Amino acid sequence: MAFGVLDQDPPPFFRQGASAFSKLIVFSAVAVFLMVADTRFQMLQPARAVLQAVLFPLQWLAQRPGLIAGEAENFIQKVQSADAVHTGLVEKLRQQSARAYQVEQLELENRRLRALLALRPTLAVSGKAAQVLYDAADPYTRKVVIDRGQAHDVKLGSPVVDEKGVLGQVTRVFLLSSEVTLITDRDHATPVLNVRTGARGVVYGDTSSHADAMELRFMAANADVEAGDLLTTSGVDGVYPTGLPVARVEKVDRQVNAVFAQIYCVPIALVSGAGHVLVLDTLTDDLPPRPEAPVSPPHTRSRR
């Protein structure tokens, strides 16, 4: 047998239809025709819709295991997170209960000591709830407007607090609204007391370092002030009640040649995000009047 016979076409009885190359040409032409027809005339849109409707149950069944596994994982994470939050709240409630018991004991001792020493009882401060409407239009000040005014018996100089601490002071009163100057305003001063040392001072609003910052000024360079000290209202100004949280010391900068230390603080109240506040009544009505300054007699010349 010659080797050239192997390269010839098979006998006719092995042939089955058109050749593979012919099928490729035909099917390619049909595919191109269908793509052009679907792009220009949207001819296959009904068939695609029917096919999608038929395959949707299969797709839904195929996606269920993954979705169920994801939901189970999210449920387990939420349960673990809720359990951790519950544990933290229980521990915090236990601490608050112990602290409340100590506060009651201290209040009882305070009342007894004041009665023993015949001191005037502490002032009972009441207040009214208010909502922050918007920030003041002046970008160089830190003020907000609340929805309580003269019609709600809001007085000029009333302290304003939120759930965490001192927020500011009412500086302008309108009929149905009031303007509150925040403690971070550069022109606002708040007398404070260092809880750790008992030293008094005055904090001012200061935005030179960063937004919503404060500075404890006029403290000696060697004053006992450390980062983390809590500053509360001292009550000596007759505006704020005693013991309200104001700020916490963030940084103490002592320079060799400086007389006063630079003490930067951060407010405890939500000065940038307060929504609901409490307007306290002023203390000036309950405080005794200030003594009048003695009038010095006029200078007279002595006659010789």
pLDDT in tens, the chain (304 residues): 454 544 555 555 555 666 778 888 888 888 888 788 777 777 777 877 888 888 888 888 888 888 898 899 999 999 999 998 998 888 888 888 888 878 888 888 888 887 777 766 655 677 889 999 998 877 788 999 999 999 999 999 999 999 889 999 999 999 999 999 999 998 899 999 999 999 999 999 987 767 788 999 999 988 999 999 999 999 888 888 888 999 999 999 988 888 899 999 999 999 988 889 999 987 765 566 666 766 666 555 544 4
Q: What is residue 117's predicted lDDT score, i.e. its pLDDT?
A: 76
Count of structural domains, the chain: 2
201/132 same-domain check: yes
Residue linked to tokens 């047998």 = 1
201/84 same-domain check: no
Question: What is the value of pTM for the model shown?
Answer: 0.59
60/131 same-domain check: no
Residue 154's CATH number: 2.40.10.350
Q: Judge whether 177 lies within some domain.
A: yes
Q: Judge whether 82 lies within some domain.
A: yes
**Which two tokens mark 63?**
């996606």
From CA 110, how far away is CA 214, in angstroms rounded?
Answer: 32
From CA 215, how far away is CA 196, in angstroms rounded?
Answer: 18
Q: Judge whether 1 lies within some domain.
A: no
Q: Which among 119, 147, 170 is the end of a domain?
A: 119
Half-sphere exposure of 85 (CA within 13 A, CB side): 6
143/250 same-domain check: yes
112/135 same-domain check: no
Residue 195 DSSP one-character state: T
Domain carrying residue 190: 127-280
Q: With H, G, I as helix, E, B as strand and everything else as coil, classify residue 202.
A: strand
